[in-house]
């Protein structure tokens, strides 16, 4: 199972909105609404930001939102803040009952 494809880096200025894409296939993203997004700071464990495509866990800012169209999922961060700077990973359930992560995106706040 190949990793889902994410852009290596995305950047934006404070207050702007950015979108991180996550491209898979009909065997994963396109076939199921089990897409999640994680934020990881250096040396720390990942933190769940979005589950089931567009749901936010309790405590996650509503500046984070998710969507899906076909085989591609997206994470949108609005009102970009300095502490949004991190690595972001998508993941998806697959038709083999496994889970696949994305390649990861480094978000830089200019």
Only segment of 15-23, 40-48, 65-73, 74-82 that touches another protein (CB under 8 A): 40-48
Going along the chain, which residue ranges are E strands? 9-12, 18-23, 35-40, 47-50, 64-69, 72-77, 86-93, 99-101, 105-109
Residue 17 touching another protein (CB under 8 A): no
Indicate whether 64 belongs to the interface with another protein (CB under 8 A): no
97 binds another protein (CB under 8 A): yes
Q: What is the smallest separation between the CB atom of 79 and another protein, expressed in angstroms?
A: 24
- Separation CA 51–CA 47 (nearest Å): 11
Q: Which residue is it, tokens 């609404």? A: 33
Tell me which residues touch another protein (CB under 8 A). 1, 3, 34, 36, 38, 40, 45-48, 51-52, 57, 89, 91, 93, 97-104
């Amino acid at each position: 199972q190949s990793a889902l494809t994410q852009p290596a880096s995305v950047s934006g200025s404070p207050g702007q909105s950015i979108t991180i894409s996550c491209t898979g296939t009909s065997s994963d993203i396109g076939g199921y609404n089990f897409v999640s997004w994680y934020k990881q700071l250096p040396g720390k464990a990942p933190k769940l930001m979005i589950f089931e495509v567009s749901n936010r866990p309790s405590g996650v800012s509503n500046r984070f939102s998710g969507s899906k169209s076909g085989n591609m999922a997206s994470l949108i961060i609005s009102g970009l803040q300095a502490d949004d700077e991190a690595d972001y990973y998508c993941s998806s359930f697959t038709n083999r009952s496994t889970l696949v992560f994305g390649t990861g995106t480094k978000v830089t706040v200019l």
